[in-house]
Structure 1
Amino acid sequence: MEGECKVVLDAAVDTEARTQTLRVKPSSKLTTALLLFTLCLAVAAAAVLVFNRHDPGHDEENFDLHHTLRQISNVRAAIHLEGEYNPKRKTSVEWKNGVDQSHFQGGLELNDNEIVIPRTGLYFVYSQASFRVNCISSDADDTTSKPMVHLSHTVKRWSSSYGGRDTTKSYQTILHSVRTACQMKASSDPDEEGSWFSAVYMGAVFNLMRGDRLKTVMEEKMLQGLEDDQGKTFFGVFAL
């Protein structure tokens, strides 16, 4: 009886072991397959990484692309022009780009001595004109009086939004300043006797439209006394 129980018990244990073995085998195969697949993915990713790292052309293309995107995102429309006297221009100074501290970016450009707006938006417009004025009286017999000289500086805007039949003449004043110059006492320096240095600056924010044009207007008789040294006469716009 005892022998029969032992045989039955051994058979039961053997059957249970085989059952567990059969149950474990599929799970083990699936786990092994997953591990092999993950390993393959890791090897492939490492190979791509090594290839890209050793491919200077690929790195250079990525750098150029990132640099270009960074520049596009950071560029804000701006232009700064330096002015100089040009006798051929009777109503304004000659605005120059590419000299001294002048620059332009973001679509703003100089065209026919006017600044062209690239897109609609808010812009800060500014300008300064510096003059050296002769304050000596034109009357030779009058050695005491010093005539007053009025300096004016204007920025005008052309825009298709103004309408009108002749759109080429649709300029309106957006900035205007007048300053009275001339010293009322004699100078101790003979070289500065009768001279008065004055700068007319103005600036403000405007909502401008794409295609608008900005120009400056000055009195012709004052242009010969323009101070065109670096930083004295300028014209600029930048987007807000």
Structure 2
Amino acid sequence: MVAYSPTPADVERGAHQDHSLVLVQTQSWLNRTLKIFGVIFFLALALALVFVVVWTWSTRRDAGVQTVQIEALIQTTTDKPEPHTILKRINSKPKAAIHLEGSYDEGKHSGLQWHSGQGQGFSQGGIQLQNNSIIIPETGLYFVYSQASFRVSCHNPPTSTPGSKEVEEEEEEETRPQSSPLSHRVWRFSESFGNDASIMSAVRSACSGQDARGLEEGQGWYNAIYLGAVFQLNKGDRLWTESTQLSELETEEGKTFFGVFALF
């Protein structure tokens, strides 16, 4: 049997081999660690890039929506029609409407007369004034209105001298403000009814109560009767007014009028 004993060279060689093995294992662990950190770094970078892209896209989308809204608002504001443009559009297809101003001449007419070409009076959309009556052109819903203004002369009781109770009562009765009932009415004739029908009316009692107190000589008592309501009217229907105390009517512009306009 041959004995083997390591020589110094062998010892040195073995020591060198163990050192190399440890060094190789250390380098392998470092490489794996670097690779893991590299993968984590690239994943984090990729996630960051994805977040930036999503955030940028979302911001641009919101900005785009806001821009569209602003442009729509600007367009709406820009397209907002001016009053004269609105009037042009209305006049291009006018609805049936008429407004009449009233007048009364006791020497010429027996009743209140209406005029479409006087003051603010006008007519459009086929509705007409014929024989002092409004003629409805088409069946539909209409708003009918009218106003009659009155100024009545009231007699205030003068200062009486002392006397008997009977004389004072008689003088008070004679000088008491006279009550003058005033009325204004709108009539309708329709072939579907076959007769005249009162569709609106009102009555006022002039020169009575608190209304007549404190009136100066010649000032008179003033009041206006206004009527207005919606009606279903038929084609060919005729509307006109009737008023009492015509001599007391105020026919200045805007005080006594009559009109109709279509709602649909």
TM-score > 0.5, shorter chain as reference? yes
User: Equivalent residue of 2:218, what SS?
Assistant: helix
Indicate how the Cα distance of structure 1 residues 114 and 146 shifts in structure 2: closer, same or farther if over 3 A, else same.
same
User: Aligned pair 1:218/2:243, yes or no?
Assistant: yes
Distance 1:104 1:127 in 2: 15
1:41-190 equivalent positions in 2, closer than 5 A: 74-87=93-106, 88-90=108-110, 92-136=111-155, 141-142=171-172, 144-163=175-194, 170-182=195-207, 183-187=211-215, 189-190=216-217
Q: Offset at 1:190? A: 3.3
Preserved CA contact (<8 Å) 1:137 1:147: no
Indicate how the Cα distance of structure 1 residues 161 and 137 shifts in structure 2: closer, same or farther if over 3 A, else same.
farther
Distance 1:121 1:79 in 2: 15
Distance 1:210 1:89 in 2: 29
Q: 2:226 aligned to 194, 201, 224, which one? A: 201
Distance 1:210 1:127 in 2: 21
Distance 2:228 2:90 in 1: 28
Which residues of structure 2 form unaligned runs of 5+? 1-87, 158-169
Distance 2:120 2:212 in 1: 35
For this pair of structures, how many residues does the alignment match?
A: 159
The structure number with the bigger radius of gyration is 2
How large is the Cα RMSD of the aligned pairs?
Answer: 2.3
User: What letter is aligned with 1:151?
Assistant: L
Distance 2:182 2:227 in 1: 13
Q: Offset at 1:191? A: 3.5
Deviation string 1:96-129 (CA, Å, 9 cap, x unpaired) is: 1111111110011100000000000000000000
Preserved CA contact (<8 Å) 1:159 1:213: yes
User: What letter is aligned with 2:138?
Assistant: R
Aligned to 1:230: 253
TM-score normalised over the length of structure 1: 0.61
User: Equivalent residue of 1:160, what SS?
Assistant: coil
Distance 1:101 1:109 in 2: 16
User: What letter is aligned with 2:214?
Assistant: A
User: What letter is aligned with 1:186?
Assistant: G
User: Equivalent residue of 2:117, what SS?
Assistant: coil
Q: Offset at 1:217? A: 0.7
Preserved CA contact (<8 Å) 2:155 2:175: no
Distance 1:190 1:184 in 2: 11
Deviation string 1:47-95 (CA, Å, 9 cap, x unpaired) is: xxxxxxxxxxxxxxxxxxxxxx9567631110000001132433x3110
Distance 1:175 1:223 in 2: 18
Identity across matched positions, percent: 48
Distance 2:253 2:112 in 1: 14
Preserved CA contact (<8 Å) 1:125 1:203: yes
TM-score normalised over the length of structure 2: 0.56
